[in-house]
Amino acid sequence: MRALFRFLYRTDRTPANPARGVRTPRSASELPPYLTRAQADSLFERLDELSAMADDLDEPVRIRRARNRAIVELFYSSGLRLSELHALDLDSVDLRERHLRARGKGSKERIVPVGSNALEAMASYLGLTGRARPAGRSGTRPESSSGDPLFTTTTGRRLSRRQIQRVVQGILEGVPGAEGLSPHALRHSFATHLLDEGADLMAVRELLGHASLSTTRVYTHTSKERLLEAYRKAHPRAD
C-alpha cells in the first residue's frame, strides 16, 4: 500500500500520500520448540533402554548406539549448534578438564562446559572405538575441520550434518510429543532449562555463543510462559 500511494503521489494522481506514516506490522515472534523437563527425562530413559539392549548386539551396533547417545547427550549438555557438533574433532574435547572448544558463527571459538553424563557417554563411545580419549588441549585447529573427527561413520568418515539430524530425530521419535523435532530443539531445551533453574542470562548467552543478548532473550519468554502457567494453575485468585 505504501508503494502504491508513493506512485500515485509521485504521478500527481492523488494530492497527498495517506500511507506515508503507516508502519509495517511486526510479525509475532514464535518461541523456539523445546523439550519439557518430563520429555527430557523420557528422552534419557529411552537412551538407557537402547544402551541396555545393545549389550548382546554385534560390536558395530554397540558402537553406533554409544555414538548416538553421546551425540544426544552432548547436544543437551552443552547447547551446541548442529554445525558446531558436526565440526568437533577429537582434540576439541578435554574430558579431564570437562570442557570442549566449539567453533561458532563467524569462526568464533568459545569454551563450553560438558556435563558428567555427556562426558561418560563420550568416554564410553571412544572406548568402544579404541581411539585415544581426548585429555588435553592441542594447538589451534584450522578453520576447516580437517582433524580427526569426533563422531564418525562405521567406515571412519566424519558424520554429515544430515546423518546427525537423522540420529537425533530417530531417537526423538520415541519421546511422546517430541516427534519431528530437530537437533536444534535440544539446544533450545538446554537454554530454557538453564533459565528455568535461575541461570544468569549473560552466562547463557556466552554458553550459546550469541553475539547479541537480544537473541538470548527469546528464551526468557519461554520461561515466563511457564511461570505464568504455573501461577494460573496454582494461585486461588489468579483469574
- Domain definitions of the chain by residue range: 37-181
Active site annotation includes 210: yes
Tell me what pLDDT residue 239 has: 72
Classify 37-181 by CATH class: mainly alpha
Tell me what pLDDT residue 104 has: 83
For residues 68, 70, 76, 79, the Cα torsion angle rounded to the nearest 10 degrees is: -110
Pairing verdict, β 93-94 and 99-103: antiparallel
Active site annotation includes 20: no
Active site annotation includes 99: no
Tell me what pLDDT residue 208 has: 92
Q: CA 237, CA 222: separation in Å to the nearest integer?
A: 23
Q: What share of the chain is helix, strand, coil (3-state, %, to 5)?
A: 50, 5, 40
**Contact 184/35 with Cβ under 8 angstroms?**
no
Question: What element of type H or E holds 5?
Answer: helix 2-10
Q: CA 85, CA 160: separation in Å to the nearest integer?
A: 10
**Contact 110/206 with Cβ under 8 angstroms?**
yes
**What spatial distance separates the first Cα and last Cα of the chain, rounded to whole Å?**
41
Active site annotation includes 76: no
210: nearest Cα among 112, 143, 141: 112
Q: CA 113, CA 94: separation in Å to the nearest integer?
A: 10
Active-site choice (141, 210, 217, 226): 210
Active-site choice (131, 133, 166, 184): 184
Active-site choice (46, 81, 86, 101): 81
DSSP state at residue 106: G
Active site annotation includes 34: no
DSSP state at residue 135: -
Q: What is the DSSP string of 63-95?
A: HHHHHHHHHHHHHHHH---HHHHHT-BGGGEET
Tell me what pLDDT residue 149 has: 94
Tell me what pLDDT residue 134 has: 54
Active-site choice (98, 105, 157, 162): 105
Cα 139 to the center of its chain, rounded Å? 26
Tell me what pLDDT residue 135 has: 52
Q: CA 200, CA 205: separation in Å to the nearest integer?
A: 9
Active site annotation includes 224: no
Tell me what pLDDT residue 84 has: 96
pLDDT in tens, the chain (239 residues): 899 999 999 999 999 999 988 888 876 666 678 999 999 999 999 999 888 887 778 888 899 999 999 999 999 999 999 999 999 999 999 989 999 999 888 788 999 999 999 999 999 999 999 885 555 544 444 343 457 999 999 889 999 999 999 999 999 998 999 998 999 999 999 999 998 888 888 999 999 998 888 878 877 777 777 777 778 888 888 77
Model confidence, pTM: 0.76
